[in-house]
Chain A
Amino acid sequence: MRQTPLYETHLKYGGKIVEFGGWLLPVQYSGILEEHKAVREKAGLFDVSHMGEVAVKGPDALAFLQKVVTNDVSRLADTQVQYTPMCYPDGGTVDDLLIYRYGQEHFFLVINAANIEKDWNWLVENSDGFNVELRNLSAETAELALQGPLAERILSQLTDVPLAKLKYYWFIPEVMLAGKKTMISRTGYTGEDGFEIYCLPGDVNELWEAIMEAGRPLGLMPAGLGCRDTLRFEACLPLYGHELSQDISPLEAGLLRFVNLEKGPFNGREILAQQKANGLKRKIAGFVMTGKGIARAEYPVIFEGRRIGTVTSGSYSPTLNKNLGLALVEAEYAAAGQQFDIEIRGKLVAAEVIAKPFYKREGK
C-alpha cells in the first residue's frame, strides 16, 4: 500500500484513512457532508498526489497523442488543457485524462491513479514508430486540488501571478506559490471553480500548510476522497471503473463532445463511428430515486420484470438533498421521464430518469 507525501499531514488534520486503488488516503476529515458543503460554498483542499503524470516529448508528440486519444489534440494552444478519453481499438475505454500542452513537442498527461501502470504500458506499446520520448513522472510529482468559489481568492494571497486572468482549462507552467515552484491549472473534478497545483513531493507539505493558513479564515476545509466522489457525482463527471471502463465506450458514457471522429485515424475510431451512425445500444442515464432507498454501484436496473441495466454510481446528493444515481441502461430507457426500478437488497424501488448534470454551478 502506498502513501502520498502528505500522509502524516492527513493524520494531523484528523483524516480517516482508507485504501483507494492501492493508496492510503483520507476518505474524510470532519465529515463528508460538511466538506462537500465547504467546496460548494467556500473551498476545500484535496491531496490528489496519487494521480499519475506522464510527459510526452519529441517531434511526433502531437501525432502520437492524436492516435491514442479521442479528442482533437491539435486544437490545443500552448498552456491550454484538454479533457479526453483514451480508447482501445474496440472502442472500450483505457482511461480518461487531462492533456496539458507546453508546446508543439511537449505535452503533460494526468491519468487516474488506479490506471498508472496499465496506461503507461499502453502508451509505450502505442508509441512504436513515433519519434517520442515518454517519461512516467508519477513518483516525482505531487498534486493538490483547491476547489470552490473562494479558491481564486485564497490562492491569490500566495503568489504575485494574476490568477484571476487564468481561464478555465488553461494553465501557467511556472508559478512561485508560497515560495515554491509549481504548475497551476484552472481545472478540477468537483463541478466548482478551482485550481490544480502540481509540485515536487518535497514541497507539498509546506504548500498544503500555506494554503490552509491562507484559506482557513475564509472557511477553507481539508477535503477527502468521500466528498471528491459526491461532488464529481453531482456534476456527473465520469469516474473510471464506474461510468467508463474497458467495456464502456466514451459515447455510451455521453462524452461525444470529447470524441472527434473527423480528426483522422485514432484507436477506436471505427467502432465509435459505427456506434454514432447506428445509434447507441446502451447509455449512461441519470436518475432520481422516487421510492425510498439509495442506489449503489452494481445494483440492477429493472423494467417490467426484466433487467435493463446496472447502476454505475449512486449516492445521497448533499447539494440537492435527494438520492440520485447514474446507470448504464438500454438506450431506449435513458430519456428523461422514463421510470424504472432499482433492485435494492432484493426489493424493487422506483426511480425516474432526469437530466444530467444533476448540479451545475451558477454562471457556467
Chain B
Amino acid sequence: MNFPKELKYARSHEWVRVEGSRAVVGITDYAQHQLGDIVFIEVPTVGNKVEVGKNFSVVESVKAVSDIYAPVAGVIVEVNEKLGDAPETVNQDPYGEGWIAVIEMSDRANLDDLLGSDEYADLAAKGGH
C-alpha cells in the first residue's frame, strides 16, 4: 500500500496535500482498499464551511456507506465534480484524480494534529485503529 511522504494523514483515513493556504483532501489508499469498489460519492458543496472531524462528504461502496471527515477546518472552495460520473477514480487513483475537495484553511494549526506518512502506515498496518 502506498502512502506518499509529502502528504499528511488523518486517523479517520483522509489525506491532505497543503498548497499554500489550501488543503486538497481525499481518502487514503488504505481507505479505498477497505471500502472496495466505490460506486457513489456525495461531494460537498462549494462555499460550505467545514469543521475538523465533522463529516463533509459520503463515499459509498457496493456494500457500505462511509462518512468522510474534514481533516482541517475552513471553507470548501473546489470539489471534484468528475467523481459524480466516475466514482471508481477514487479506487484507481486515490491521491491524484481521485481527490474529493479543496478546503481554504481557517486554522493552519489543524495540520499539526495530522500524521506523517510513516505514522499513518503504522496505523494502517494495525488495522486502521
Contact = CB atoms under 8 A, between A and B. Distances in A.
Do chains A and B stick together as partners?
yes
A28 B63 CA distance: 10
A34 B62 CA distance: 12
A33 B37 contact: yes
A20 to B, nearest CB: 11
**What is the predominant secondary structure among interface residues of chain B facing chain A?**
strand
Contacts of A28: 36
Given A27-B63, A32-B63, A316 B58 contact: no
A296 interface: yes
A141 interface: no
Contact of B62 (A16, A33, A292): A33
Nearest to B65: A296
Contact of B37 (A32, A293, A294, A345): A32
A226 B63 contact: yes
B47 interface: no
Interface string A17-52: 000000000011001111000000000000000000
Contacts of A323: 40
Contacts, number: 39
A316 B36 contact: no
Given A31-B37, A226-B63, A229-B63, 15 more contacts: A28-B36, A32-B36, A33-B39, A33-B62, A226-B62, A230-B62, A292-B42, A294-B60, A294-B65, A296-B65, A315-B62, A316-B40, A316-B60, A323-B40, A345-B42
A34 B36 CA distance: 11
Nearest to B62: A32
Given A226-B36, A294-B40, A316-B39, A345 B58 contact: yes
Interface in A221-243: 226, 229-230
Interface residues of A, number: 19
Contacts of A33: 37, 39, 62
A154 B107 CA distance: 61
Interface string B58-101: 10111101000000000000000000100000000000000000
Nearest to B67: A345
Contacts of A34: 37
Contacts of A16: 36
A296 B62 CA distance: 10
Contacts of A293: 40, 42
A229 B63 CA distance: 9
A294 B61 CA distance: 10
Interface in B1-60: 36-37, 39-40, 42, 58, 60
Contacts of B39: 33, 294, 316
A285 to B, nearest CB: 22
A33 B62 CA distance: 8
Nearest to B58: A345
Nearest to A32: B62
A296 B37 CA distance: 16
Contacts of A292: 40, 42, 84
A28 B60 CA distance: 16
25 contacts: A16-B36, A27-B36, A27-B63, A28-B36, A31-B36, A32-B36, A32-B61, A32-B62, A32-B63, A33-B39, A34-B37, A226-B36, A226-B62, A226-B63, A229-B63, A292-B40, A292-B42, A293-B40, A293-B42, A294-B40, A296-B65, A316-B60, A318-B62, A323-B40, A345-B42
